[in-house]
Every structure is written in structure tokens, then in C-alpha cells.
Amino acid sequence: MSIIPDPTDPRAAIRQGAMTPFQVAAVAVCVLICALDGFDVLVVAFTAASIAKDFALKPTDLGLLFSAGLAGMGLGALLIAPLSDRFGRRTTVLLCLAILCVGMLAAAATRSLTELALVRLFTGLGIGGGLATVNIVVAEYATDRWRNLSISLMSLGYPIGATLGGAFSVYLIAAYGWRSVYVFGGLVALALVPAVLAFLPESLDYLIARRPAGALTKVNRVLARMKRPALAALPAPQRAEAETGASLAAIARPPYLTRTLAACAAYFCVMTTCYFFLSWTPKVLTEQGLSVSGGISGAMLMNLGGAVGCLLFGFFARRVGTRRLAAAFMAGLFVAGAVFGAVPATPAALLAATLGIGFCLYGSINAMYAVVPPVFPAPVRTTGTGLAMSVGRLGAVTGPAVAGMLMAAGWERPEYSAALALPMLAAALCLRWVAAEEPAPARTVPGEAAAVRG
């Protein structure tokens, strides 16, 4: 039997309405944070050739360096992202920016591979926790009509940040050396703190579902910025919120267990392939005869292709179906990866294949941002998403590390490219089980549907 939603709960009305300037500003801040994360994740790829020369590193050493930051991202998604379900989304975002700032500045002062790897592990905590948290903020503040596009714009920040970061890296490395790239990243993280304080208040979903001290005052403050009437009291929790405990155990039992496992498996497969290409493409391009700046330019071209892929996903997801389009992008990345391995080692062919990889790669990552958060209720939404992203980071560690071992073992570009593109087909299959476990819309009342959609 359906339960009638509380008419005093403003969230359903907000999600059915138009995007206000306040909501647009909140999404914009998340886009900027995602752009910084995109730069921070790929900063080692941009500086890999210079670091390898400075520290006399072998391919396996670079694989370790790539994987250190990605391992930190996994730990951040698992350990730091759930803090937003306990202490709030905004507080967690500020903590992650502080970690990014300290970690990037510390990387500029390292003097050995071990030091740099440890610092990248620490920095990854902020990246992993930040990505999971801003993903939830966008999903909770965007309206139903604009949610897919808002998530796509958030994802678009990633390749934009990586592209601009690559452009700055070319100049900074040539003028001041690779260490200056990390100083730049730390200063950008510091500059984003005032933007978060001004334009990213606490999430309504968190305040209403978790009810921290002063929740009613904070909710009314947010509603005032959205030009909506104040509440006399907090609305009653929605059924999914009332029945779900704020712990990891809540998503490890029905009806969430199957979709949790499927989401984790899909994330692992997607990140295995994506971070192989994100981490190794500049180095592979230089080994095929391009200059250091040419390798970075190839990564930038991949990110530009990703920007187009993100936008197209955002515009067509509602029409085609989010999971159906996600599966198409994932299958496309498998094909693009195999083509990258097979094309001749000419600049034109390699860069064209790189563009195709970027188009499908970022569309696939964006699809995971859109698919995963809605399957968890608000009290454990970041915990569940963080768990799936954390498992994904295991894949992100595995992909670059396995690539380094395969290259050291003598595998050629066609062989390791095809092998590391194969997990995308498994990821596309996993989406079927995520979809199969979702509640049927016909059996869900409007208020509950809004809670489930996130």
C-alpha cells in the first residue's frame, strides 16, 4: 500500500520545478571542483615524462606512481565520502579541498619516487572523497528535468579541467619545471574554498533526512535563497529514509544488495579501462614518436572528445534511456580502444584514435555518475555511491599497474590496448542488474519517487 508523501516536504516540489539561479550556482561550483579533480588526477600523466627523466624511472615505477594516487582516490571514496552522510555534504567538500591543497603543494617538494607516491596517495583521498560528494550534491540539487544534463556538466568539468591543466602544464614545465604544475594545482584548490562557502550551502536532502542541530534554520535559509516559503517544522521522513539506517549495512541487504554489487562491478570494469587510457596515453604517444608536448596535446585532444561525449549524453539520456545510452558508450570505448592499438604509428592516426577514446571514455564515466546515486536513499546515498566508486578505484589502480607490467613483459600496443579495453563489455552487462533491481515507477508514490531518484 502506498504512503501519501508529507505535503510540507519541499523537495518533491523543487525537483518538479524549474532550476533557480541558486541551484545553477550550486551545480556550477561542483563543475569547478570536478574540473580541479580532473586536473589533479591527470597531473602525473602530464608530468610523467619529466618525472621519469628526473628520477630515472622505469615503466613499472611510473605504473606505481599512477596507481598511488588512484589508490588514494579509492580510500577517499570509501572513508571520506561517507562523512558527508554523517557531517554534511558541504563540510566534506571543504575537507577534500584542504587535502587537495596540502597534497599538491607537498608534491612540489618531494625528492624521490617514494615521497611522491606517498603524497599522491594522500592527495587521492581528497580527490576520491570530493568526486563522490559533489556527484551527490548535483543529483540532489538538480531538478528532474535537468538532472542528467547537470550531471553531464559536472562530468564535463573533468575533461575541461584536464584540458586546461594540460595546456598550463606545457607552459609551466617548459618555463619552471614539473614541480610548478603541482604548485599551480594547490593554489587553485585554495581559491575554490571561498566559492564553496558562498555558493554551496548544505544539501536539503541531508538536512531533512539526517536532521542535524539547527536543521530547520538551515533548511529555511536554503529555501529563502530559492525564493520558497519557510517551513514551520521539518517534514516527516520519507519511507525510504525512515526504513534505511545510516550505515553501510543498509545497502548490503535487500532490496539494495544486488544493485550494490552490480554497481560496484560496473565501476570496477569502467575504471580499469578508463584509467589505463587516462594515465598511459601521453606516455604511449611519446613512445610512438610524438614529442613530450605532443603527448600532452594528445591527452588534451582526448579530453576535448570527452567534453563532446558528456554533452551528448546529457542531452540524449532522457530520450534514449540512461542505461541504454550508457551501454552504448561502454561498447564504443571497447571498439575505440581496440582501434587505438591497431592504427599505424602516425601522428594523424594516433590522435584520431585518441579523440574517439575520449568521446566514449568520458561518456562512460558520466553514465556511472548518473546511474549509481539514484539507487540509494538519502541517509546512505554518499555511503553507497562512495562504496561503488571505491571499488571502481581498485580498477583504476589495476588498469595502469597491469599496463605497466604488460609493457615490461614485452606486450605490444595492439595487445595491451585490446586486453585493457575488454572490461567495458562486462561493465555494459552489469547495468542490466542495476536496472533490474530498481523499484517499479508504477508502485511508487510521487514523494517516494523523488527520494529514490535523488
**Predicted TM-score (pTM) of this structure:** 0.73
Above 50 in pLDDT, residue 9? yes
For the chain, what is the HEC assignment? CCCCCCCCCCHHHHHHCCCCHHHHHHHHHHHHHHHHHHHHHHHHHHHHHHHHHHHCCCHHHHHHHHHHHHHHHHHHHHHHCCHHHHHCHHHHHHHHHHHHHHHHHHHCCCCCHHHHHHHHHHHHHHHHHHHHHHHHHHHHHCCCCCHHHHHHHHHHHHHHHHHHHHHHHHHHHHHHCCHHHHHHHHHHHHHHHHHHHHHCCCCHHHHHHHCCCCHHHHHHHHHHHCCCCCCCCCCCCCHHHHHCCCCHHHHHCCCCHHHHHHHHHHHHHHHHHHHHHHHHHHHHHHHCCCCHHHHHHHHHHHHHHHHHHHHHHHHHHHHHCHHHHHHHHHHHHHHHHHHHHHCCCCHHHHHHHHHHHHHHHHHHHHHHHHHCHHHCCHHHHHHHHHHHHHHHHHHHHHHHHHHHHHHHCCCCHHHHHHHHHCHHHHHHHHHHHHHHCCCCHHHCCHHHHHHHHC
Domains of the chain: 11-453 (1.20.1250.20)
Q: What per-residue confidence (pLDDT) applies to 328?
A: 95
Interval 317-332 mean pLDDT: 89
Q: What is the pLDDT of residues 179-208, one digit of tens each?
A: 999 999 999 999 999 999 999 988 888 888
Q: What is the pLDDT of residues 395-441, one digit of tens each?
A: 877 888 898 889 888 899 899 999 999 999 999 999 888 754 433 33
